[in-house]
């Protein structure tokens, strides 16, 4: 549901912008506000799950996401839409991380790669269904209907969670790190929103600069606080574990690049190449077919080459694939676009399988909640930062070109930048031991 919601929205962004009387690039605020909701509440998901139980948190999260979806459908202004997306982010902050905690505690460590594969295969249906569905609804009905799809899915999810998930707690959760929660929430929210507002006309430039500065200072304050506290909300000491460090730090750089694609590619196809929403959605969903194919061969690839080598080589290939989106033009055959976009799903899919598996390679079960919280918040903020970076580069490129609207040439610099971020993860991965995660890889 979460993946489908995200891909449906990005396909429909130009139509939403016209209906809300906004520039299409301004709609990145709606994507960023969702990530802000994630960034604020993901840090406490591990603690809350340990305190009240995984099933209770999971069902509540689905309910909050459903309410946020209804409010998105009813929004008539950009401000209302941004606030509704923030509420969706609050629900999403608990859904995926708590689901991963459940999987980690239920599955033997040697079977984690296989379990992660089972976990992600159904979720890939969202990006398959989302773009063409969003395009069809936007073209033949109205974009508001895309949010009502989440209501029956949410109700089904609450029923299934009640039936199949135990309300397991993670032992003694300890007291909540209130000071850490406030610092991390204020820091991530202000910094992400401040960066998203750069170049917009929604707030005064001095206010935007103050938001960025205060957000950065709050995050620095949290970093100092976490190093002095015995049980911090986000425990940076876990980054001393090489496999966890590579997954979180290297993975965050990779995700900055990939996080921009759902925002940038539909915009390039519709605003740059003047495609309709439905045609754009059909091309965009090709990436998921590449991702599904990669899931089927990820285990043997890891068993043959190991985590370190795959992460290094595959990051370069993924960067090249993402950057090549910027070469699309009016004369590019649709079949070539489909093949390139499929490759843009093929290589990142393998990277995510590696990153999502190796993150737990050397984590103790007692640290699962804290590790999931830290990894999830960094991952989601990286994805949101990708949207912000892509929007900023696109704005600069459009202004330098000197014409009023967006043209296809404006997107090339943005795609080159996001491809570069994927490649920048390689120096971090190079620090991994050659046998990192071999217990997981050989099991495949």
Encode burial over 132-154: b for 16+ CB neighbours within 10 A, e otherwise.
bbbbbbbbeeebbebbebbeebb
| The predicted structure's pLDDT at residue 236 | 82
Residue 375 and residue 418 in one domain: yes
One domain for residues 282 and 384: yes
Q: Does some domain include residue 172?
A: no
Residues 321 and 416 in one domain: yes
**Segments of the chain with pLDDT less than 50:** 444
- For 281, phi then psi, to 5°, come to -65, -40
- Expressed as residue numbers, the domain containing 210 is 177-232
* Encoded tokens for 389: 């970076």
Residue 394 lies in a domain: yes
DSSP string over 241-310: SHHHHIIIIIHHHHHHHHHTHHHHHHHIIIIIS---HHHHHHHHTHHHHHHHHHHHHHHHHHHHHHHHHH
Whether 186 maps to a domain, the answer reads yes
Indicate whether 381 and 269 sit together in one domain: yes
CA distances from 232 to 153, 184, 226, 290 (A): 35, 11, 5, 39
| Pair of tokens at residue 442 | 């050989």
The residues near 201 (Cβ < 8 Å, ≥ 6 apart) are none
Same domain as 26, residue 97: yes
Are residue 65 and residue 149 in the same domain, yes or no? yes
37 and 119 housed in the same domain = yes
Residue 221 lies in a domain: yes
**Per-residue buried b or exposed e for 61-78, using 16+ beta carbons within 10 Å of the residue's own CB:** bbebbbbbbebbbebeeb
Domain boundary, last residue among 232, 254, 273? 232
Give the helix, strand, coil percentages of the chain, each rounded to 5: 80, 0, 20
Give the total number of structural domains in the chain: 2
Picking from 191, 215, 232, the residue at the C-terminal end of a domain is 232
Q: What is the CATH number of the domain that holds 438?
A: 1.20.1250.20
The verdict on residue 183 lying in a domain is yes
State the pLDDT at residue 189.
81
Q: Are residues 304 and 349 in the same domain?
A: yes
Residue 77 falls within a domain, yes or no?
yes
Mean pLDDT of the chain, nearest integer: 80
110 and 241 belong to one structural domain: yes
d(C-alpha 221, C-alpha 181), whole Å? 11
- DSSP codes of every residue in 400-444: HHT-SS--GGGHHHHHHHHHHHHHTTHHHHTTS-TTTTHHHHHH-
Q: Do 146 and 259 sit in the same domain of this protein?
A: yes
Q: Is residue 406 part of a domain?
A: yes
Residues 226 and 374 in one domain: no
Residue 47: which residues within 8 A CB-CB, separation 6 or more? 173, 174, 176, 177, 233, 369, 373
Q: Write 340-344 long-range contacts (CB < 8 A, 24+).
A: 341/265, 341/283, 341/284, 341/286, 341/287, 341/290, 342/286, 342/287, 342/289, 342/290, 343/290, 344/261, 344/287, 344/290, 344/318
Question: Is 171 inside a domain boundary?
Answer: no
> Helix crossing, 286-323 with 125-140: angle to 10°?
100
* Same domain, residue pair 305 and 273: yes
Cα separation, 10 vs 16, in Å, equals 10
């Amino acid at each position: 549901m979460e993946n489908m919601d995200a891909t449906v929205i990005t396909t429909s962004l130009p139509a939403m912008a016209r209906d809300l009387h906004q520039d299409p690039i301004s709609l990145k605020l709606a994507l960023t506000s969702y990530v802000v909701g994630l960034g604020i509440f993901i840090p406490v998901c591990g603690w809350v799950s340990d305190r009240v139980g995984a099933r209770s948190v999971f069902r509540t999260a689905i309910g909050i996401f459903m309410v946020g979806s209804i409010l998105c459908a009813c929004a008539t202004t950009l401000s209302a839409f941004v606030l509704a997306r923030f509420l969706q982010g609050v629900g999403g902050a608990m859904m995926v991380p708590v689901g991963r905690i459940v999987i980690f505690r239920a599955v033997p460590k040697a079977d984690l790669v296989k379990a992660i594969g089972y976990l992600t295969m159904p979720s890939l249906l969202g990006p398959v269904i989302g773009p063409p569905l969003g395009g069809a609804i936007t073209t033949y009905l109205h974009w508001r209907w895309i949010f009502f799809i989440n209501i029956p899915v949410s109700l089904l999810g609450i029923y299934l969670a009640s039936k199949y998930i135990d309300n397991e707690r993670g032992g003694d959760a300890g007291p909540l790190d209130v000071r850490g929660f406030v610092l991390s929430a204020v820091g991530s929210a202000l910094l992400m929103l401040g960066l998203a507002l750069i170049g917009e006309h929604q707030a005064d430039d001095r206010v935007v600069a103050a938001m960025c500065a205060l957000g950065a200072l709050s995050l620095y304050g949290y970093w100092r606080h976490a190093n002095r506290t015995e049980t911090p909300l986000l425990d940076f000491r876990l980054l001393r574990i090489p496999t966890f460090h590579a997954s979180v730090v290297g993975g965050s750089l990779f995700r900055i690049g990939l996080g921009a694609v759902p925002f940038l590619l539909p915009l390039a196809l519709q605003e740059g190449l003047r495609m309709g929403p439905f045609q754009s959605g059909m091309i965009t969903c090709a990436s998921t077919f590449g991702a599904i194919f990669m899931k089927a061969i990820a285990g043997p690839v890891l068993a043959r080459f190991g985590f370190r080598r795959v992460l290094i080589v595959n990051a370069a290939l993924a960067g090249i694939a993402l950057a090549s989106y910027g070469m699309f033009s009016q004369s590019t055959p649709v079949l070539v676009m489909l093949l390139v976009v499929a490759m843009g799903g093929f290589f990142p899919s393998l990277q995510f399988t590696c990153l999502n598996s190796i993150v737990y390679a050397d984590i103790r079960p007692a640290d699962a909640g804290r590790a999931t919280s830290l990894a999830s918040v960094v991952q989601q903020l990286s994805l949101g930062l990708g949207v912000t970076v892509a929007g900023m580069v696109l704005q600069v490129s459009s202004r330098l070109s000197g014409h009023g609207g967006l043209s296809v040439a404006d997107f090339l610099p943005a795609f080159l930048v996001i491809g570069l971020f994927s490649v920048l993860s390689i120096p971090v991965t190079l620090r991994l031991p050659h046998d990192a995660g071999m217990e997981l890889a050989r099991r495949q």
